[in-house]
Amino acid sequence: MTRYYRLPDRSIVPSVSAVLDALSKPALTYWAAKTVATAAVEQRDYWSDLEDEVAIGWLKGATYRTTKKAADRGSAVHLAIESGDWRGVEAFRPAYEAMFAERGVPRVLARELVVWTGRYAGRLDCVAEFGDRILLVDWKTTGAVRASTELQLAAYAHAWANGSPDRPGLDGAAVVRLTDAGAYEWVEYDNDVLRAGVETFHSLLAVQSWQVRKGELKGATDIIDVERRSSCG
């Protein structure tokens, strides 16, 4: 599913994640092959008795099932952070609480807010005040913080800064990767890194637009309407 947003002026722009799809991801080829191979070995008793075409279809779906499971887990953790209800993802709660124990409880200024420019849009996880610093925060439950996350947060930070004039300035951005082993990883980006990332993101935006025109990437398959917000929310 390729997400786009319909802005208040009725223009339609790609989501930040849709733009990042233009990046080459060679590691995904290895991951997909390993995922299918793992399913073939670990669940051979299931698929070996199926008709050939059915077995092939089931094995091809291994990467989708794994990706969907990870996405569902990430969504559940995001919901737990927002609601305080950790049922179903209790294993991630110690990591979340360890982060607060070390860095203090932040004052949340915005949560799950759609931000945009005239060229793209996206939904940021959180903007919060940690002590005397205001940071854009992104929660992750993935196995590692990818390099592309730097561009993702740069795009969000730029859109935040170009939104409502009453929004406070950011002192940077941070990825907080929570694990089900009780540990967390904190990766921070200062404003110089974010400004450089915006330039790269804008170049990638042009590449993504070209790839859509040439049919190498899908255009909008899911369009979300956004409403103008005048405050941090």
Take residue 206 and report the two structure tokens written for it: 């042009």
Q: Picking from 42-51, 130-139, 174-183, which range would have the lowest pLDDT averaged per residue? A: 42-51
| pLDDT confidence tier of residue 58, bands split at 50, 70 and 90 | confident
- The C-alpha atoms of residue 203 and residue 181 are separated, in whole angstroms, by 38
| pLDDT confidence tier of residue 28, bands split at 50, 70 and 90 | low
Look at the domain 3-225 and name its fold: Trna Endonuclease; Chain: A, domain 1 (3.40.1350)
- The C-alpha atoms of residue 128 and residue 136 are separated, in whole angstroms, by 7
- The C-alpha atoms of residue 210 and residue 40 are separated, in whole angstroms, by 37
Yes or no: say if 197 and 147 are a contact pair by the CB < 8 Å rule.
no
pLDDT at 233 over 90: no
Q: What is the CA radius of gyration of the chain?
A: 20
Yes or no: say if 209 and 2 are a contact pair by the CB < 8 Å rule.
no
Phi, psi of 24 (to 5 degrees): -70, 135
Average pLDDT (211-217) is 92
* Cα-to-chain-centroid distance, residue 80: 16
- The C-alpha atoms of residue 145 and residue 193 are separated, in whole angstroms, by 16
Yes or no: say if 212 and 218 are a contact pair by the CB < 8 Å rule.
yes
DSSP state, 15?
B
- pLDDT, residue 145, reads 92
Amino acid (one-letter) located at 217: L
- The C-alpha atoms of residue 161 and residue 127 are separated, in whole angstroms, by 12
Domain boundaries of the chain, sorted by first residue? 3-225
User: Cα(first)–Cα(last) distance of the chain, in Å?
Assistant: 27
Element holding 5 (H helix, E strand): strand 3-6
- pLDDT, residue 220, reads 86
- pLDDT, residue 63, reads 72
Spatial CA neighbour of 126 closest among 143, 147, 105, 144: 105
* Cα-to-chain-centroid distance, residue 99: 20
pTM, entire model:
0.82
- The C-alpha atoms of residue 7 and residue 200 are separated, in whole angstroms, by 23
Q: Please enumerate in sequence order all residues whose Cβ is within 8 A of that of 96, keeping only pairs 6 or more positions apart, or say none.
A: 81, 178, 184
- pLDDT, residue 231, reads 37
From residue 206, how far is each of 108, 150, 209 by CA, in Å?
Answer: 34, 18, 5
Q: Picking from 1-5, 65-69, 192-196, which range would have the lowest pLDDT averaged per residue? A: 65-69
pLDDT at 138 over 70: yes
